[in-house]
Amino acid sequence: MKSNLPSLADLTQDVELAYKNDQLNLLLNQQPPAVWVKTHPYIKGYQYLPIDKVEHLLRKIFKRYRIEITGQGQAFNGVWVTVRVHFMNPVTGEWDYNDGIGAAQLQTKKDTSPADLLNINNGALSMAFPIAKTVAVKDACDHFGTLFGANLNRKDVVEFQVDKNLSVEDQDWQDISELYELKKDTIAPDEQVNIERIINNKEIANFKKLSKLLKSK
C-alpha cells in the first residue's frame, strides 16, 4: 500500500522563510567563475579559490562578517589553526557561523627534520601561521556551498535544486486570482478580505489552503 508522505512545505512552520533560505542556497551553490579557479602548484590536479575571491564573496553576499581564531598549535612538522567565520545571515538578519581548520608545514633547512627546532628556518612560524589561518577560513567557507569552491575537487556531486513545494509560479497566482473572481459572489465579505490579502501579497504559506477553499466553493 502506497503511503502519502508529507512534503517539506507541509512540515515547515514558516514556508516564506524556508523559500528564502532555498533561494539563498541556490545562489550559494552556483559554480564560481572559471577565471577565479586556480590549480595548486604542488598538489597535482588540486583546484582552489584564492582567499581574495573568498573574502570578496563574504563581503558581497553577507555584507557583514568577522573571523575569530578559536585555536592554534604545532603538530609534528607544521602548525594548525582553527577559526570561526561569523556572518550576518541575509535572510534572517541574525548572526551565524561556520567553523574551519587549516594547517601549514614549517619550512626547515634542506633535508632536515622539524623535530629538531634548530632545523626550522628563521621566520618559518610567522609564515606558517597566516597560511594555516587562510586555509582554515577557506575550509569554513566551504560549508556555504559550491560558489565558495566546496566541490572543486569532488566527484559525483549532487546538484542543489530548490524545493518546488516551497514556491508558487506566477501562472499559479494568476490562475487562483481568476478562480477567485469567478467564485467571489459565493464568498463572505470577511473571507474576501483575507483572500485578497493572500493573493496581493503572494503568501506562499497560504496558497494551498486558498486553492482548496476556492475549489470547494
Q: What residue ranges do the domains of the chain occupy?
A: 12-148, 168-216
DSSP for 127-196, written as a single string: HHHHHHHHHHHHHHHGGG-GGGTTTTT-SSPPPP---GGG---HHHHHHHHHHHHHHGGGS-HHHHHHHH
d(CA 112, CA 125) in angstroms, rounded, equals 16
What is the pLDDT at residue 115? 59
- Grid cell listed for 55: 573574502
50 burial class (0-12, 13-18, 19+ CB within 10 angstroms)? Answer: middle
What is the pLDDT at residue 19? 84
What is the pLDDT at residue 67? 97
Gyration radius of the chain's alpha carbons: 26
Q: Which helix (H) or strand (E) holds 22?
A: helix 15-28
Cell 559550491, located at residue: 146
Instruction: Name the β-bridge partners of 74.
Output: 79
- Grid cell listed for 68: 575569530
What is the pLDDT at residue 3? 61
In eight-state DSSP terms, residue 29 is: T
d(CA 213, CA 206) in angstroms, rounded, equals 11
- Grid cell listed for 64: 557583514
One-letter amino acid of 67: I
Residues in the chain: 217
Are the CB atoms for 164 and 204 separated by under 8 Å?
no
What is the pLDDT at residue 89? 97
Dump pLDDT digits (tens) for 79-128: 999 999 999 999 999 999 999 999 998 777 676 665 565 566 666 777 88
Picking from 78, 62, 80, 79, the residue whose alpha carbon sits closest to that of residue 70 is: 80
Are the CB atoms for 18 and 88 separated by under 8 Å?
no
Tell me the CATH number of domain 12-148, given options 3.40.640.10, 3.30.390.80, 3.40.718.10, 3.40.50.970: 3.30.390.80
What does each C-alpha distance from 63 to 25, 56, 134, 148 come to in angstroms?
A: 16, 10, 20, 15
Q: In the chain, which stretches have pLDDT less than 70?
A: 1-3, 9, 109, 111-123
Are the CB atoms for 19 and 204 separated by under 8 Å?
yes
